[in-house]
Amino acid sequence: MTNIDARGKNCPIPVIMTKKVIAEGAKEITVLVDNKTATLNLEKLAQNSGMSFTCKAIGNDFEVVLSGEGKANAAIEALTLDAMGKACPTPVIMAKNALVEGVKELTVLVDNKIAVANLTKLGENNGKAVTVTEEEGKFTVVIAGEGVAKNEIAAATIDATKVNCPIPVCMAKNALKDVKELTVIVDMPIAVENLKKLANNLGKTVGVSEVDGLFHVTLGGEGNPVEEKPVGDWCVFVAEKSIGTAPNELGGNLMKMYLYTLTQSENLPGAMLFMNEGVKVLENEEMQLSLAELAIKGVKLIFCGACLNFYGISHLCPAANISNMYVIVEEMGKYNKVVKI
Amino acid sequence: MAKKYVISFESTHGAIAARRVLDKSGMIRTIPVPRAISAACGIAISFEEENLDYVMSQMKTLDIEGEYELHILEE
Protein backbone atom coordinates (compact mmCIF):
# COMPACT_ATOMS: atom_id res chain seq x y z
CA MET A 1 0.00 0.00 0.00
CA THR A 2 1.58 3.24 -1.13
CA ASN A 3 0.12 6.65 -0.45
CA ILE A 4 0.86 9.71 -2.51
CA ASP A 5 -0.35 13.19 -1.64
CA ALA A 6 -0.25 15.14 -4.89
CA ARG A 7 -2.61 17.91 -3.85
CA GLY A 8 -1.45 21.36 -4.87
CA LYS A 9 0.66 19.90 -7.68
CA ASN A 10 -0.01 20.62 -11.34
CA CYS A 11 -0.21 17.85 -13.90
CA PRO A 12 1.87 16.07 -15.02
CA ILE A 13 3.50 15.89 -11.54
CA PRO A 14 0.82 13.58 -9.97
CA VAL A 15 1.16 11.21 -12.95
CA ILE A 16 4.96 11.25 -12.79
CA MET A 17 4.88 10.55 -9.02
CA THR A 18 2.50 7.63 -9.55
CA LYS A 19 4.46 6.25 -12.48
CA LYS A 20 7.57 6.23 -10.32
CA VAL A 21 6.04 4.07 -7.59
CA ILE A 22 4.59 1.67 -10.20
CA ALA A 23 8.13 1.27 -11.54
CA GLU A 24 9.24 0.50 -7.98
CA GLY A 25 6.76 -2.37 -7.88
CA ALA A 26 3.89 -0.91 -5.81
CA LYS A 27 0.74 -3.05 -6.14
CA GLU A 28 -1.79 -0.77 -4.53
CA ILE A 29 -1.43 2.95 -4.76
CA THR A 30 -3.65 5.63 -3.27
CA VAL A 31 -3.21 9.07 -4.78
CA LEU A 32 -4.79 12.21 -3.38
CA VAL A 33 -5.27 14.94 -5.97
CA ASP A 34 -7.24 18.18 -6.01
CA ASN A 35 -8.44 18.41 -9.59
CA LYS A 36 -10.51 16.42 -12.05
CA THR A 37 -7.93 16.53 -14.85
CA ALA A 38 -5.41 14.73 -12.66
CA THR A 39 -7.91 11.89 -12.06
CA LEU A 40 -8.47 11.53 -15.83
CA ASN A 41 -4.74 11.40 -16.44
CA LEU A 42 -4.29 8.82 -13.67
CA GLU A 43 -7.06 6.74 -15.22
CA LYS A 44 -5.15 6.71 -18.51
CA LEU A 45 -1.97 5.76 -16.67
CA ALA A 46 -3.83 2.87 -14.98
CA GLN A 47 -5.08 1.62 -18.35
CA ASN A 48 -1.63 1.79 -19.91
CA SER A 49 -0.06 0.06 -16.93
CA GLY A 50 -2.73 -2.65 -16.80
CA MET A 51 -3.98 -1.71 -13.34
CA SER A 52 -7.50 -1.22 -12.04
CA PHE A 53 -8.71 2.29 -11.29
CA THR A 54 -11.20 3.69 -8.80
CA CYS A 55 -11.84 7.28 -7.90
CA LYS A 56 -13.94 8.92 -5.22
CA ALA A 57 -14.45 12.52 -4.28
CA ILE A 58 -13.56 13.58 -0.74
CA GLY A 59 -14.66 17.15 -0.21
CA ASN A 60 -12.89 19.17 -2.87
CA ASP A 61 -10.23 16.49 -3.34
CA PHE A 62 -10.21 13.12 -5.09
CA GLU A 63 -8.88 9.82 -3.84
CA VAL A 64 -7.68 7.64 -6.66
CA VAL A 65 -6.74 4.00 -6.10
CA LEU A 66 -4.70 2.06 -8.64
CA SER A 67 -4.23 -1.63 -7.96
CA GLY A 68 -2.95 -4.77 -9.61
CA GLU A 69 0.29 -5.98 -11.07
CA GLY A 70 1.48 -2.83 -12.82
CA LYS A 71 3.56 -2.79 -15.93
CA ALA A 72 6.54 -0.60 -15.13
CA ASN A 73 7.47 2.30 -17.36
CA ALA A 74 4.35 2.14 -19.47
CA ALA A 75 4.49 4.98 -21.92
CA ILE A 76 2.06 7.79 -21.21
CA GLU A 77 0.37 7.87 -24.59
CA ALA A 78 -1.94 10.79 -24.09
CA LEU A 79 -2.26 13.34 -21.33
CA THR A 80 -4.41 16.40 -20.71
CA LEU A 81 -3.22 19.39 -18.72
CA ASP A 82 -5.63 21.93 -17.37
CA ALA A 83 -3.79 25.24 -17.25
CA MET A 84 -6.87 27.45 -17.23
CA GLY A 85 -6.40 30.50 -15.05
CA LYS A 86 -2.65 29.95 -14.87
CA ALA A 87 -0.32 32.71 -16.04
CA CYS A 88 2.75 31.99 -18.10
CA PRO A 89 5.25 30.52 -17.68
CA THR A 90 3.31 27.92 -15.62
CA PRO A 91 1.37 26.33 -18.57
CA VAL A 92 4.51 26.00 -20.65
CA ILE A 93 6.49 24.54 -17.73
CA MET A 94 3.70 21.99 -17.14
CA ALA A 95 3.76 21.07 -20.84
CA LYS A 96 7.54 20.76 -20.94
CA ASN A 97 7.51 18.43 -17.91
CA ALA A 98 4.90 16.24 -19.62
CA LEU A 99 6.77 16.10 -22.94
CA VAL A 100 10.01 15.15 -21.18
CA GLU A 101 8.14 12.18 -19.67
CA GLY A 102 7.54 10.90 -23.19
CA VAL A 103 3.87 11.85 -23.62
CA LYS A 104 3.03 11.31 -27.29
CA GLU A 105 -0.13 13.34 -27.50
CA LEU A 106 -0.38 16.25 -25.11
CA THR A 107 -3.51 18.36 -24.77
CA VAL A 108 -3.25 21.61 -22.85
CA LEU A 109 -6.27 23.74 -21.93
CA VAL A 110 -5.46 27.42 -21.52
CA ASP A 111 -7.36 30.70 -21.43
CA ASN A 112 -5.02 33.24 -22.97
CA LYS A 113 -3.26 33.90 -26.25
CA ILE A 114 0.19 34.33 -24.73
CA ALA A 115 0.02 30.79 -23.36
CA VAL A 116 -1.07 29.54 -26.81
CA ALA A 117 1.90 31.29 -28.44
CA ASN A 118 4.32 29.88 -25.86
CA LEU A 119 2.98 26.34 -26.21
CA THR A 120 3.20 26.59 -30.00
CA LYS A 121 6.83 27.67 -29.72
CA LEU A 122 7.53 24.80 -27.31
CA GLY A 123 5.94 22.25 -29.65
CA GLU A 124 7.80 23.54 -32.67
CA ASN A 125 11.07 23.59 -30.78
CA ASN A 126 10.55 19.90 -29.97
CA GLY A 127 9.78 19.11 -33.60
CA LYS A 128 6.15 18.27 -32.88
CA ALA A 129 2.95 19.24 -34.65
CA VAL A 130 0.77 21.80 -32.87
CA THR A 131 -2.94 22.33 -33.41
CA VAL A 132 -4.98 24.99 -31.68
CA THR A 133 -8.75 25.21 -31.40
CA GLU A 134 -10.65 28.04 -29.79
CA GLU A 135 -14.05 28.03 -28.24
CA GLU A 136 -15.46 31.05 -26.37
CA GLY A 137 -12.06 32.34 -25.31
CA LYS A 138 -10.87 28.92 -24.21
CA PHE A 139 -8.05 27.34 -26.17
CA THR A 140 -7.18 23.69 -26.62
CA VAL A 141 -3.60 23.19 -27.73
CA VAL A 142 -2.60 19.72 -28.90
CA ILE A 143 1.10 18.96 -29.19
CA ALA A 144 1.59 15.63 -30.93
CA GLY A 145 3.84 13.64 -33.21
CA GLU A 146 7.25 12.11 -32.79
CA GLY A 147 9.77 14.90 -32.29
CA VAL A 148 12.38 15.00 -29.56
CA ALA A 149 11.42 16.29 -26.15
CA LYS A 150 13.99 18.76 -24.89
CA ASN A 151 14.32 19.48 -21.23
CA GLU A 152 14.32 23.21 -21.79
CA ILE A 153 12.06 26.03 -22.85
CA ALA A 154 13.96 27.89 -25.53
CA ALA A 155 11.73 30.93 -25.65
CA ALA A 156 8.59 32.19 -23.97
CA THR A 157 6.67 35.40 -23.38
CA ILE A 158 5.05 36.56 -20.16
CA ASP A 159 2.54 39.32 -19.60
CA ALA A 160 3.52 41.70 -16.81
CA THR A 161 1.28 44.59 -17.78
CA LYS A 162 -1.02 46.23 -15.22
CA VAL A 163 1.25 45.25 -12.35
CA ASN A 164 3.58 47.52 -10.45
CA CYS A 165 7.23 46.99 -9.79
CA PRO A 166 8.72 44.88 -8.26
CA ILE A 167 6.34 42.27 -9.66
CA PRO A 168 7.56 42.29 -13.30
CA VAL A 169 11.09 41.71 -11.97
CA CYS A 170 9.93 38.85 -9.69
CA MET A 171 7.95 37.29 -12.56
CA ALA A 172 10.91 37.52 -14.92
CA LYS A 173 13.27 35.99 -12.38
CA ASN A 174 10.88 33.13 -11.75
CA ALA A 175 10.41 32.44 -15.44
CA LEU A 176 14.13 32.60 -16.20
CA LYS A 177 14.66 29.52 -14.02
CA ASP A 178 13.03 27.54 -16.84
CA VAL A 179 13.08 29.74 -19.93
CA LYS A 180 16.24 30.58 -21.90
CA GLU A 181 15.01 33.54 -23.91
CA LEU A 182 12.30 35.42 -22.12
CA THR A 183 10.17 38.26 -23.41
CA VAL A 184 8.37 40.28 -20.76
CA ILE A 185 5.55 42.58 -21.85
CA VAL A 186 5.28 45.61 -19.58
CA ASP A 187 3.46 48.94 -19.76
CA MET A 188 5.66 51.18 -17.65
CA PRO A 189 9.10 52.67 -18.48
CA ILE A 190 10.25 52.09 -14.89
CA ALA A 191 9.62 48.35 -15.33
CA VAL A 192 11.75 48.43 -18.50
CA GLU A 193 14.58 50.05 -16.54
CA ASN A 194 14.34 47.49 -13.77
CA LEU A 195 14.30 44.58 -16.23
CA LYS A 196 17.42 46.01 -17.87
CA LYS A 197 19.09 46.06 -14.47
CA LEU A 198 18.02 42.48 -13.89
CA ALA A 199 19.44 41.38 -17.25
CA ASN A 200 22.67 43.15 -16.40
CA ASN A 201 22.78 41.42 -13.02
CA LEU A 202 22.24 38.00 -14.61
CA GLY A 203 24.70 38.60 -17.45
CA LYS A 204 21.97 38.38 -20.07
CA THR A 205 21.53 40.47 -23.18
CA VAL A 206 18.53 42.76 -23.32
CA GLY A 207 16.49 44.16 -26.16
CA VAL A 208 13.50 46.49 -25.97
CA SER A 209 10.88 47.14 -28.62
CA GLU A 210 7.68 49.14 -28.44
CA VAL A 211 4.53 47.50 -29.78
CA ASP A 212 1.16 49.25 -29.55
CA GLY A 213 2.26 51.37 -26.60
CA LEU A 214 3.57 48.37 -24.67
CA PHE A 215 7.20 47.48 -24.13
CA HIS A 216 8.52 44.06 -25.09
CA VAL A 217 11.68 43.45 -23.13
CA THR A 218 13.62 40.39 -24.24
CA LEU A 219 16.25 38.88 -21.98
CA GLY A 220 18.39 36.47 -23.94
CA GLY A 221 21.80 34.88 -24.20
CA GLU A 222 23.38 32.40 -21.86
CA GLY A 223 23.81 34.50 -18.75
CA ASN A 224 24.28 33.10 -15.27
CA PRO A 225 21.77 30.63 -13.88
CA VAL A 226 19.13 32.13 -11.60
CA GLU A 227 20.34 30.91 -8.25
CA GLU A 228 18.09 29.27 -5.72
CA LYS A 229 20.61 29.98 -3.00
CA PRO A 230 19.49 32.87 -0.78
CA VAL A 231 21.66 35.97 -0.89
CA GLY A 232 21.56 36.47 2.87
CA ASP A 233 21.30 34.36 6.00
CA TRP A 234 18.43 36.18 7.65
CA CYS A 235 14.90 37.05 6.71
CA VAL A 236 12.43 39.87 7.25
CA PHE A 237 8.79 39.41 8.18
CA VAL A 238 6.73 42.51 7.35
CA ALA A 239 3.27 42.54 8.89
CA GLU A 240 2.58 46.29 8.78
CA LYS A 241 2.70 48.93 6.08
CA SER A 242 4.56 51.16 8.48
CA ILE A 243 7.15 50.73 11.19
CA GLY A 244 5.22 50.60 14.40
CA THR A 245 1.47 50.89 14.68
CA ALA A 246 1.13 54.49 15.90
CA PRO A 247 -1.50 56.25 13.77
CA ASN A 248 0.70 58.95 12.28
CA GLU A 249 2.70 59.64 9.13
CA LEU A 250 6.03 58.85 10.72
CA GLY A 251 5.72 55.07 10.50
CA GLY A 252 5.10 55.08 6.75
CA ASN A 253 8.13 57.29 6.20
CA LEU A 254 10.26 55.05 8.37
CA MET A 255 9.17 52.05 6.27
CA LYS A 256 10.16 53.86 3.07
CA MET A 257 13.53 54.68 4.60
CA TYR A 258 13.97 51.15 5.88
CA LEU A 259 13.39 49.59 2.45
CA TYR A 260 15.64 52.17 0.77
CA THR A 261 18.41 51.61 3.31
CA LEU A 262 18.18 47.84 2.82
CA THR A 263 18.84 48.31 -0.90
CA GLN A 264 22.07 50.14 0.02
CA SER A 265 23.14 47.52 2.54
CA GLU A 266 25.86 44.92 2.01
CA ASN A 267 24.10 42.51 4.34
CA LEU A 268 20.91 41.67 2.45
CA PRO A 269 18.20 39.37 3.78
CA GLY A 270 17.60 36.09 1.96
CA ALA A 271 13.87 36.66 1.86
CA MET A 272 11.20 39.19 2.77
CA LEU A 273 7.78 37.90 3.71
CA PHE A 274 4.83 40.27 3.50
CA MET A 275 1.66 39.57 5.44
CA ASN A 276 -1.44 41.40 6.58
CA GLU A 277 -1.06 45.16 5.91
CA GLY A 278 2.56 44.50 4.94
CA VAL A 279 1.34 43.57 1.44
CA LYS A 280 0.31 47.23 1.00
CA VAL A 281 3.94 48.11 0.31
CA LEU A 282 2.96 47.20 -3.26
CA GLU A 283 0.74 50.28 -3.39
CA ASN A 284 3.47 52.82 -2.78
CA GLU A 285 5.67 54.03 -5.60
CA GLU A 286 8.79 54.67 -3.51
CA MET A 287 8.53 51.29 -1.85
CA GLN A 288 8.02 49.61 -5.24
CA LEU A 289 11.32 51.09 -6.40
CA SER A 290 13.20 49.78 -3.39
CA LEU A 291 11.55 46.36 -3.63
CA ALA A 292 12.46 46.09 -7.30
CA GLU A 293 16.07 46.84 -6.43
CA LEU A 294 16.02 44.18 -3.72
CA ALA A 295 14.50 41.63 -6.12
CA ILE A 296 17.17 42.42 -8.71
CA LYS A 297 19.84 41.85 -6.06
CA GLY A 298 18.41 38.41 -5.38
CA VAL A 299 16.19 38.91 -2.33
CA LYS A 300 13.19 36.59 -2.52
CA LEU A 301 9.93 38.54 -2.08
CA ILE A 302 6.92 36.60 -0.91
CA PHE A 303 3.45 38.10 -0.62
CA CYS A 304 0.58 36.50 1.29
CA GLY A 305 -2.20 35.70 -1.19
CA ALA A 306 -5.02 35.77 1.36
CA CYS A 307 -3.86 39.19 2.54
CA LEU A 308 -3.72 40.65 -0.99
CA ASN A 309 -7.21 39.31 -1.51
CA PHE A 310 -8.47 40.73 1.79
CA TYR A 311 -7.29 44.24 0.92
CA GLY A 312 -8.60 43.92 -2.64
CA ILE A 313 -5.19 44.33 -4.25
CA SER A 314 -4.65 40.86 -5.75
CA HIS A 315 -4.33 42.53 -9.15
CA LEU A 316 -1.04 44.06 -8.02
CA CYS A 317 0.54 40.65 -7.66
CA PRO A 318 -0.19 37.84 -10.15
CA ALA A 319 -0.40 34.21 -9.12
CA ALA A 320 3.22 33.31 -9.71
CA ASN A 321 4.40 35.52 -6.86
CA ILE A 322 1.72 35.10 -4.29
CA SER A 323 2.09 32.56 -1.63
CA ASN A 324 0.36 30.88 1.25
CA MET A 325 1.04 30.21 4.92
CA TYR A 326 2.81 26.92 4.12
CA VAL A 327 5.44 28.64 2.02
CA ILE A 328 5.82 31.45 4.53
CA VAL A 329 6.29 29.05 7.47
CA GLU A 330 8.73 26.98 5.39
CA GLU A 331 10.70 30.07 4.44
CA MET A 332 10.89 31.32 8.06
CA GLY A 333 12.23 27.93 9.11
CA LYS A 334 15.18 28.25 6.75
CA TYR A 335 16.72 31.13 8.66
CA ASN A 336 18.15 31.37 12.15
CA LYS A 337 17.18 35.01 12.32
CA VAL A 338 13.77 36.33 11.36
CA VAL A 339 13.36 40.07 11.89
CA LYS A 340 9.78 41.25 12.31
CA ILE A 341 9.06 44.72 11.05
CA MET B 1 29.73 61.29 -11.64
CA ALA B 2 26.02 61.47 -10.92
CA LYS B 3 24.90 64.14 -8.53
CA LYS B 4 22.28 63.44 -5.95
CA TYR B 5 20.40 66.20 -4.19
CA VAL B 6 19.45 65.72 -0.58
CA ILE B 7 17.46 67.93 1.76
CA SER B 8 17.92 67.42 5.48
CA PHE B 9 15.64 68.95 8.08
CA GLU B 10 15.91 70.42 11.54
CA SER B 11 12.83 68.60 12.69
CA THR B 12 11.11 65.37 11.77
CA HIS B 13 7.88 67.35 11.39
CA GLY B 14 9.49 69.51 8.71
CA ALA B 15 10.56 66.40 6.83
CA ILE B 16 7.09 64.91 7.03
CA ALA B 17 5.50 68.16 5.85
CA ALA B 18 7.88 68.33 2.87
CA ARG B 19 7.16 64.74 1.98
CA ARG B 20 3.46 65.45 2.12
CA VAL B 21 3.61 68.19 -0.54
CA LEU B 22 6.02 66.23 -2.75
CA ASP B 23 4.61 62.73 -2.34
CA LYS B 24 2.44 62.77 -5.47
CA SER B 25 5.20 64.17 -7.70
CA GLY B 26 7.02 60.83 -7.85
CA MET B 27 10.27 62.81 -7.84
CA ILE B 28 11.56 62.14 -4.36
CA ARG B 29 12.73 59.24 -2.27
CA THR B 30 12.63 59.16 1.48
CA ILE B 31 16.03 58.22 2.82
CA PRO B 32 17.88 58.33 6.13
CA VAL B 33 20.13 61.39 6.38
CA PRO B 34 23.36 60.21 4.72
CA ARG B 35 26.24 59.59 7.12
CA ALA B 36 28.34 62.10 5.15
CA ILE B 37 25.95 64.85 6.27
CA SER B 38 25.20 63.82 9.80
CA ALA B 39 25.66 60.89 12.10
CA ALA B 40 22.30 61.53 13.72
CA CYS B 41 19.29 59.53 12.64
CA GLY B 42 16.85 61.57 10.69
CA ILE B 43 14.61 61.71 7.68
CA ALA B 44 15.82 63.29 4.46
CA ILE B 45 14.53 63.40 0.93
CA SER B 46 16.59 62.87 -2.19
CA PHE B 47 15.93 63.73 -5.81
CA GLU B 48 17.58 64.16 -9.20
CA GLU B 49 19.01 67.41 -10.52
CA GLU B 50 16.27 67.73 -13.17
CA ASN B 51 13.69 68.05 -10.39
CA LEU B 52 15.61 70.64 -8.39
CA ASP B 53 13.54 73.66 -9.42
CA TYR B 54 10.21 71.99 -8.78
CA VAL B 55 11.26 70.59 -5.42
CA MET B 56 12.64 73.93 -4.24
CA SER B 57 9.51 75.78 -5.37
CA GLN B 58 7.39 73.37 -3.35
CA MET B 59 9.67 73.78 -0.34
CA LYS B 60 8.95 77.53 -0.42
CA THR B 61 5.24 76.85 0.03
CA LEU B 62 5.98 75.35 3.43
CA ASP B 63 6.35 77.47 6.50
CA ILE B 64 9.76 76.06 7.41
CA GLU B 65 12.11 78.60 5.83
CA GLY B 66 15.61 78.27 7.32
CA GLU B 67 14.79 74.93 8.94
CA TYR B 68 16.22 72.75 6.21
CA GLU B 69 19.43 72.41 4.23
CA LEU B 70 20.12 71.42 0.64
CA HIS B 71 23.13 69.17 0.04
CA ILE B 72 24.71 67.93 -3.17
CA LEU B 73 26.28 64.50 -2.94
CA GLU B 74 28.55 62.97 -5.54
CA GLU B 75 27.78 59.33 -6.11
**In chain A, what are the domains?**
2-67 (3.30.110.40), 78-151 (3.30.110.40), 160-220 (3.30.110.40), 234-340 (3.40.1260.10)
Segment A195-213, tens digit of pLDDT: 998 898 888 999 999 988 8
Is there a contact between A256 and B26 if contact means CB atoms under 8 Å apart?
no
Report ipTM for this prediction. Answer: 0.77
Number of other CB atoms surrounding residue A224 within 10 Å: 9
Q: What is the pLDDT, as a whole number, of residue B75?
A: 66
> Rounded to whole angstroms, how far apart are CA atoms A228 and A274?
20
The answer, yes or no, to whether residue A181 has pLDDT greater than 60, is yes
Segment A11-69, tens digit of pLDDT: 888 888 888 888 888 888 999 998 888 888 888 888 888 889 999 988 888 999 998 88
Q: Between A250, A261, A286, which is nearest B16 by CB?
A: A250
> Rounded to whole angstroms, how far apart are CA atoms A138 and A109?
7
**Distance in Å, alpha carbon of A287 to nearest chain B alpha carbon:** 9
Contact predicate B70/B5, CB 8 Å: yes
Q: How many domains does chain B have?
A: 1
Spell out which residues of chain B touch residue A287, defining contact as CB-CB under 8 Å. Answer: none
**Distance in Å, alpha carbon of A242 to nearest chain B alpha carbon:** 13
Is there a contact between A250 and B29 if contact means CB atoms under 8 Å apart?
no
**CB proximity B33 to A under 8 Å:** no
Which range marks the domain in which residue B69 is found?
3-74
CATH of the domain at B64: 3.30.70.120
Q: Which helix (H) or strand (E) holds A56?
A: strand A52-58
Handedness of CA A86, A6, A228, A303 (dihedral sign): positive
- Nearest chain B residue to A255, by CA: B30
Segment A134-163, tens digit of pLDDT: 988 899 999 988 777 787 888 889 988 888
Q: What is the pLDDT, as a whole number, of residue A227?
A: 67
Segment B20-40, tens digit of pLDDT: 899 888 889 988 888 778 755
Query: If pLDDT is split at 50, 70 and 90, which confidence band does A125 have?
Result: confident
Outline where DSSP puts E strands in A190-270.
205-211, 214-220, 234-238
Q: Which of A193, A253, A263, A291 to mutate to test the interface with B (most CBs of B within 10 A)?
A: A253
